Structure 1
Amino acid sequence: MFESRHIKTFHEVVRTGSYSAAARSLGYTQPAITQQMKALERSVGTPLFTRAGRGVRLTEAGEAMARHAGVILDSISAAQQQLNAITRLRSGRVRVCAFPSAGATLIPETLARLAADHPGVRVELLEGEPPESLERLVRGECDITLAFSYPGLNDEVPAEVAEVRLMEDLLTVLLPTGHPLARRRSVRLADLKEERWIAGCLRCRANFLHVCAEEGFAPDIAFTTDDNLVVQSLVAAGVGIAMMPALVLSFLCHGKVTGRAVEPHTRRQVSAYVVREHLRIPATALVLEELKSVVAARVGC
């Protein structure tokens, strides 16, 4: 294994033509140059120089090393520059996997902040629902996962993954504007047991069935779709009602749909997940901080 300092010294010896000239150029003593070249020759396993008067001449192995030394040093320099840019947040790439409603609300605001303050940090957005999105994080397909969980229905988070809690998202019931209960400020879930329902993703559906069971009824689920706009359109058409997180309603609101609080109150926890050791990566830590700032601003509105 070659040491970069030995390659640098070798390159200077070749450029100047002697150990003494390289020593003057680098600010070393000549014995120090000699020791480094001997160490490099031990690593290579063969001599790199032969004496030629007061100077040195390259052996065949030395000539081969000389052809690569400049490229090696250029690569090291380029790597140092890139790493400095990353650590100083002039550049960096962060892959974020988010569920759709977070991708439509929290992510755009976060990207806007980053573009303004850290334009060199690039965020690549992927879409995925939990628990598959958490599995993508563990497999290394993304750096941060935004996911949600419901009380009593939490998945076990792997030990190597850290959870950063962002917000609690209150669930509401969507009713057609002319529905008799739409005039109320809040609706008891038990009062909706005779309704036809529209269910969402598997995790949301599981939570919905759970809370309905606690209220003593099994809902009549007539339709299932992950598309939030389709859900609202079906509700507006009067063919069913639905439970939907408030985060979704902040960017989608059909004119013929009314959202009302549900009693008992039900919330989902929205969190960011990251492999623990990646919390020390500057760009990843920055994106997490910006996400928290965006959530704090929304909650404070």
Structure 2
Amino acid sequence: MLDVRRLQVLRAVVTSGSVTAAAAHLGYTPSAVSQQVAVLEKEVGTALLERVGRGVRPTEAGQLLTRHTAIISQDIAEAEAALADLRAGRTGRLAIRYFTSVGPALVAPALSRLRCEHPGVRIDLKLIDPEDPLQEVERGDADLAIVVGPRDNRRQGIRLVHLLDDEYLVALPTGHPLTAQRVLDLADLAGESWVGSEPPGPCLDLMLQACAAAGFNPTFVARSEDYATAQGFVGAGLGVGLIPRLAVADRRSGVVLCRVRHPEPVRSIYAAVREGAPEQGPLRALLQALEEAARHSAPANSSRPS
């Protein structure tokens, strides 16, 4: 394999017209330049330079290698520049996985900030696999996933960054007797018909666990895996339901939202990244943007439902 440094020495000699001028340009001695060219000629098995007066000129083989060396040098320069941009976070790719209800409140503002700070970074944004939300992060196919779950549900090689705790609110149809109360005990809903709003997974599990802790199992008369549809069912008077605060930014008509307690169902939302992922650059900027968006979305910064 040809040595790139020797090729660059040859190119310097050809472009300058002499060994002495090339040596001055490269910071070498003339003898060192001559030795490098001699080794290269031995490697390729043919002469690369021929003397002309006090200078030298390339043979046909020397001209061929010089042309290719110019291309190689340009490629190397471009690769070094691209690598510097990547290290500095000016370019690159981030693969992000999320679930629907965090899209408007967390993902959208975080990506808006990221685009301002790192406009050259390409974003691969997809909805998460609800059956195994961490698998793409574990495989290295995703850089970050936004997930729901308890902190102690760790996976080897995954670091969880807590973003916020998202409380569930009870959705009641307008005119329901319980709408007069601002805060309800969960047990007050034991005898109600229920509208399901969660697909199978951690969110549905924690909602059922909260109902069990209040002493009952909800009776579902309608199920939806979409919060907007669930609100529509509630507004139509089919039943009551629990919907996380982040999912009710656009409240449907005919629905009243109240806080619930004893217990208060809360889902904890995390950003999951691989252990050892870079602490600087676009990924760190994204984490900071998600944390800022989460602070703005926290209940303390939002009005209570009525």
TM-score by length of 2: 0.83
Residue 67 of structure 1 and its aligned partner are, at CA, apart by: 4.2
Residue 10 of structure 1 and its aligned partner are, at CA, apart by: 3.6
Moved more, 175-184 or 21-30: 21-30
Per the alignment, in what secondary structure is the counterpart of residue 52 of structure 1?
A: strand
Per the alignment, in what secondary structure is the counterpart of residue 216 of structure 1?
A: coil
User: Cα gap change, 1:259/1:76 in structure 2, threshold over 3 Å: closer, same or farther?
Assistant: same
TM-score by length of 1: 0.84
Moved more, 24-33 or 235-244: 24-33
| Structure 1 residues 225-236: aligned runs within 5 Å | 225-236=224-235
1:248 aligns with 2:281: no
Q: Percent of aligned positions with the same letter in both sequences?
A: 30
Residue 100 of structure 1 and its aligned partner are, at CA, apart by: 0.7
Aligned to 1:183: 180
Contact 2:171 2:240 in 1 (8 A): yes
Unaligned runs of at least 5 residues, structure 1: none
Residue 286 of structure 1 and its aligned partner are, at CA, apart by: 1.2
Moved more, 21-30 or 253-262: 21-30
| Structure 1 residues 141-156: aligned runs within 5 Å | 141-150=141-150, 155-156=153-154
Aligned to 1:72: 72
Per the alignment, in what secondary structure is the counterpart of residue 220 of structure 2?
A: strand
Q: Which protein has the larger Cα radius of gyration, Structure 1 or Structure 2? A: 2
Q: Deviations over 1:208-265 (max 9, x none)?
A: 222222333222123332211101101111112221111112x221121112222211
| Structure 1 residues 1-301: aligned runs within 5 Å | 5-34=5-34, 36-37=36-37, 45-47=43-45, 49-50=47-48, 52-53=50-51, 55=56, 57-58=58-59, 60=61, 65-150=65-150, 155-159=153-157, 161-199=158-196, 200-203=198-201, 204-249=203-248, 251-263=249-261, 264-280=263-279, 282-299=281-298, 301=301
Aligned residues: 294
Unaligned runs of at least 5 residues, structure 2: 302-306
Per the alignment, in what secondary structure is the counterpart of residue 162 of structure 2?
A: strand
User: Cα gap change, 1:261/1:280 in structure 2, threshold over 3 Å: closer, same or farther?
Assistant: same
Return the alpha-carbon distance in structure 2 between the equivalents of residues 36 and 71 of structure 1. 20
Contact 2:7 2:66 in 1 (8 A): no
Return the alpha-carbon distance in structure 1 between the equivalents of residues 297 and 189 of structure 2. 30
Contact 2:100 2:127 in 1 (8 A): yes
Contact 1:48 1:59 in 2 (8 A): no
Cα-Cα RMSD = 2.8
Q: Deviations over 1:151-193 (max 9, x none)?
A: 7xx643232x221111111111211122211211222222212
Return the alpha-carbon distance in structure 1 between the equivalents of residues 105 and 121 of structure 2. 20
